[in-house]
A = this chain, B = another copy of it.
C-alpha cells in the first residue's frame, strides 16, 4: 500500500523548520546551515555536493531512505524558491544540475506555470489545488509508489492538519533558533494519531519517526 511520507525534515529544539528573513542568498534565513549541518557531514550529503568522505552512521543510513520507494514529491512554494520567485520567469528551483528528485514534483503555488522538465527525470508541475487534490494527482503520477511531502513548514503543517501523512521523519537539531516558521503551531494533540520512535545520533540530532496508528 503506497504511503504519503515526510523524509528528514529538520527542526530546531524550539520547533522551527526554517529561520526568519528568507531570501535568494539565505534560503533558510538567519538559520543559515544550522538545521542541515548534520546532513552535510554524512557520506550521502557529501556525495550530493560532489565531495568525498562523510560519515556512514545512523544519519547516513536514514538519509539513504530519502528516495526509497518514492514516486513523486509535493512541495510548497517556499521550498521551491525564495520569496518572490513567482515574479522571476527564469527561476527553476534551487537544485540546478543536482536535482535530487528524479520524479514528478508538484509545486503548490497560486502562480501557475507550464510543467518544467529538468535533468535526471525531475519534472516540476505547478498547481493551485488544495492539499488533498494535489495528493491525489501525485499518487496518480507516482504509479503505485510513495509520495514524499517535501516541505516547507506551511505545507507540512497543512498536510498534517488534514491527516494526510502516513509516516513522518523529523530530525530535531539541538539549536534554539528563536524565530522563523514553527512546525507544531495548530497541531495540538497530533501525537495521539502516531506511534513515535526516537533515535538519537552521535551527531547530536534526534531522529523522530512518526508512524500513523493502524
Q: Which residues of B contact A200 (CB under 8 A)?
A: 198-200, 206
Q: Give the distance in Å from the alpha carbon of A185 to the alpha carbon of B179 in the complex.
A: 9
- A82 CB–B CB distance under 8 Å: no
| Chain A 163-201 per-residue mask, 1 if CB under 8 angstroms from chain B, else 0 | 000000000001111110010111111110000101110
- A204 CB–B CB distance under 8 Å: yes
Contact B178 A184 (CB under 8 A): yes
Smallest Cβ distance from A29 to chain B, in angstroms?
Answer: 12
Of B176, B182, B191, B206, the residue contacting A175 (CB under 8 A) is B191
Contact B188 A174 (CB under 8 A): no
Given contacts A15-B13, A184-B13, contact A176 B191 (CB under 8 A): yes
Q: Give the distance in Å from the alpha carbon of A204 to the alpha carbon of B174 in the complex.
A: 18
- A14 CB–B CB distance under 8 Å: yes
Contact B186 A13 (CB under 8 A): no
Q: Which residues of B contact A178 (CB under 8 A)?
A: 184-189
Of B14, B188, B204, the residue contacting A184 (CB under 8 A) is B14
Interface of A is mostly: loop
Q: Which residues of B contact A177 (CB under 8 A)?
A: 188
Q: Which residues of B contact A199 (CB under 8 A)?
A: 200
Contact B206 A198 (CB under 8 A): yes
Q: Give the distance in Å from the alpha carbon of A190 to the alpha carbon of B186 in the complex.
A: 26
Contact A198 B204 (CB under 8 A): yes
Given contacts A184-B13, A206-B206, contact A176 B198 (CB under 8 A): no
Q: Give the distance in Å from the alpha carbon of A185 to the alpha carbon of B177 in the complex.
A: 10
Q: Give the distance in Å from the alpha carbon of A199 to the alpha carbon of B176 in the complex.
A: 18
Given contacts A13-B191, A14-B15, A184-B13, contact A198 B174 (CB under 8 A): yes
Known: A13-B184, A14-B184, A198-B206. 6 other contacts (CB 8 A): A175-B189, A176-B184, A176-B189, A177-B188, A178-B188, A199-B200
